[in-house]
């Protein structure tokens, strides 16, 4: 794909985001494109957001658990960009989205730059903090389904909002029980190792996939441990991760 095409697709997605409008998968309406082209569209889309004053605060890994790969029928880990405008504290308006979904994650904050092939130990040594996290996705595509990996990557991996729980001092986040509840009833349970075999592996993978160094001070979402649940107005979603902390997001 040539540069103007990436620009055009990024604008189409950005307009859908701003208008809260669903569009057909781009690979269906605009012709097939590969993953490399999809990341170029994603990058152009982020540039549009930066031009509106948003700042990059980190990255998210997606499809790092088998549960998510099966739910979305897509095969391989991918990454997207997080901006400050996507971060929420504990409340959001579900009606500001199109078909939002919420999923339980683990987040890392880094204190050193990371780049290329790194070991688990190097990833661990670069940590500033670990936290439970809830990601709220909202695809720009019709029905939030039936899209290909390049479509999802172009759409910044369905990102919309995210919330971090209390930041904890650096620790391995492996082998921790995770429980996501909706209005107090447990909806999803998993082990943190359902994320990439160990959530820290997601950070190793991100460093290897990014075409540039991951800056110190980045927030990194390791990917959802379970399938995502629909987010409707009026519900409260809580996440508890053993040995870390609890957190809650309320949708109005
Ligand atoms: C793609 C984004 C996946 C995760 O944590 O696996 C993701 C999607 O589900 O639309 O954020
Ligand atoms: Mg996610």
Predicted TM-score (pTM) of the model is 0.96
CB atoms within 10 A of CB 125: 13
Question: H or E element: which one contains 81?
Answer: strand 78-83
Give me ligand 2 centre to Cα 225, in Å.
9
Chain segment 77-109, per-residue pLDDT in tens: 999 999 999 999 999 999 999 999 999 999 999
pLDDT value for 4: 55
Q: Tell me the pLDDT of the chain (252 aa) as tens digits.
A: 555 599 999 999 999 999 999 999 999 999 999 999 999 999 999 999 999 999 999 999 999 999 888 888 888 899 999 999 999 999 999 999 999 999 999 999 999 999 999 999 999 999 999 999 999 999 999 999 767 899 999 999 999 999 999 999 999 899 999 999 999 999 999 999 999 999 999 999 999 999 999 999 999 999 999 999 999 999 999 999 999 999 999 999
**Which residue CA neighbors atom 11 of ligand 1 most closely?**
62
Residues with CB under 6 A from ligand 1: 60, 62-64, 68, 72, 103, 135, 137, 139, 152, 157-158, 223-224
Give me ligand 2 centre to Cα 166, in Å.
18
Share the mean pLDDT of the chain: 95
171/200 Cα distance (integer angstroms):
10
Q: Which atom of ligand 1 is nearest to the CA of 68?
A: 6
Q: Using most ligand atoms within 8 A of CB, pick from 35, 38, 63, 79 the residue to mutate for ligand 1.
A: 63
Tokens of 164: 């971090």
CATH superfamily ID and name for 3-251: Fumarylacetoacetase-like, C-terminal domain (3.90.850.10)
User: How does 189-206 read in b/e, with b if 16+ C-beta sit within 10 Å?
Assistant: ebebbbbbebbbbbbbbb
Q: Where are the chain's structural domains?
A: 3-251
């Amino acid at each position: 794909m040539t540069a103007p095409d990436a620009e055009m697709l990024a604008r189409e997605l950005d307009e859908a985001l701003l208008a809260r409008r669903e569009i057909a998968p781009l690979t269906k309406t605009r012709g097939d494109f590969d993953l490399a082209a999809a990341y170029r569209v994603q990058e152009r889309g982020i540039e549009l957001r930066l031009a509106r004053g948003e700042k990059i605060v980190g990255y998210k890994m997606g499809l790092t658990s088998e549960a998510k790969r099966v739910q979305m029928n897509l095969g391989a880990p991918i990454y997207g960009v997080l901006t400050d405008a996507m971060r929420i504290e504990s409340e959001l308006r579900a009606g500001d989205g199109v078909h939002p979904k919420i999923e339980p994650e683990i987040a890392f904050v880094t204190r050193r730059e990371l780049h290329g092939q790194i070991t688990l130990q190097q990833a661990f040594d670069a940590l500033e903090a670990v936290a439970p996290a809830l990601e709220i996705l909202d695809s720009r595509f019709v029905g939030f389904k039936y899209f290909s990996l390049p479509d999802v990557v172009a759409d910044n991996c369905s990102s919309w909002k995210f919330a971090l729980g209390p930041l904890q001092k650096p620790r391995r986040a492996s082998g921790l029980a995770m429980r996501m509840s909706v209005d107090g009833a447990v909806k999803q349970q998993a082990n943190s190792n359902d994320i990439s075999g160990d959530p820290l592996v997601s950070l190793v993978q991100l460093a290897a996939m990014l075409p540039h160094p991951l800056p110190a001070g980045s927030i990194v979402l390791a990917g959802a441990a379970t399938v995502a649940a629909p987010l409707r107005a009026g519900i409260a979603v809580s996440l508890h991760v053993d040995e870390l902390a609890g957190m809650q997001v309320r949708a109005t």
